[in-house]
Amino acid sequence: MPCLGVAFIAVVVGATAAVLKAWNSAGIKLGETTYFRVVCTAAVVELPWYRSFADLVEPRIRAYLGRYLGDLKKFERLNLEWKRVCFAAPEVELLKRKLLFSKLPVTLAEDLECLIWSWSREYQRRYNWSFRVAAGRICRAVSLLSKRYSVLVKLENLRGIKRKNVPHLRRWSWIRLVKLVLGCTSKKVGVALVDPSYTSSKCPVCRGWLRRRTYRMLICANCERKWHRDVAAAVNIALAEPRRMLRTPRSP
Ligand SMILES: [Zn+2]
């Protein structure tokens, strides 16, 4: 399930209790606390609504094919032009094997391609909504903290970076995330950009290389500590030096 990694660093010792309270009020379940140079609490916030695109479209494609299945038998006897249906999304291509079809008469294939395209728009809208809800919960925790402490939010500077590993349909525009954080947090909250290099590949504690165990689980080659991929990235971002200040933090 896609999620957002978030890490809070309490620079002032007394702020740790306030951080835990803010997590609670925003409904974020504390994942792990790390003690190294600073007290760092990290968590993953799951997207509240999530179904993969394949799960969303499979029953719809089944219903569509079911409607024409009888006719398909007749079509086979006719001399029609057949076309391989293009799903555009690699995560749905596998469905063809499951549903045991790849070619349809041209008009049906084009009709189905059109439908899948409009379903992908619908899916993207749902995914964006879900992402906004999850990010909104983090912004709420940040705003709560800013009532008592000076807060600086750090984000990766992903301007111009293409995220090849993220499926097309789940790609959230980075600039929208920056705007969301700037718009949904109090004006007193500072927002800074950090260098994104090695945030997901180095251990936040010992700086050793992280090796992949599963898609989401990483292990440090040096200290053998296990990390959730998004938590490791969040802690590294929280520890990184701000490179560009988008909004200066103000004391409450
Ligand atoms: Zn390590």
* pLDDT 10s digits, 217-234: 999 999 999 999 889 999
Q: Is 76 a domain residue?
A: yes
CA of 38 to the centre of ligand 1 (A): 16
Q: How far does CA 95 lie from the centroid of its chain?
A: 23
Q: Which residue has tokens 């936040």?
A: 204
CA of 213 to the centre of ligand 1 (A): 14
What confidence score (pLDDT) does residue 42 get? 87
CB atoms within 10 A of CB 32: 15
Q: Is 103 a domain residue?
A: yes
Total domains, the chain: 1
Residue 204 to residue 201: CA distance in whole angstroms: 9
CA of 203 to the centre of ligand 1 (A): 5
CA of 153 to the centre of ligand 1 (A): 24
Q: Which residue has tokens 């008592």?
A: 148
Contact 200, 220 (CB under 8 A): no
* Type and span of the H or E element at 123: helix 106-146
Question: Could you list the residue range(s) of the whole structural domain that residue 109 is in?
Answer: 53-123
Q: Is 58 a domain residue?
A: yes
Q: Is 86 a domain residue?
A: yes
Q: Mean pLDDT across the stretch 24-53?
A: 79
Q: Is 201 a domain residue?
A: no
Q: Is 83 a domain residue?
A: yes
What was the ipTM of the complex prediction? 0.98
CA of 209 to the centre of ligand 1 (A): 7
CA of 96 to the centre of ligand 1 (A): 42
CA of 182 to the centre of ligand 1 (A): 33
* Predicted confidence (pLDDT) at residue 193 exceeds the cutoff of 90: yes
CA of 5 to the centre of ligand 1 (A): 18
Cα radius of gyration (the chain): 23
pLDDT in tens, 58-92: 889 888 888 876 776 676 677 778 788 777 666 66
Q: Mean pLDDT across the stretch 20-37?
A: 78
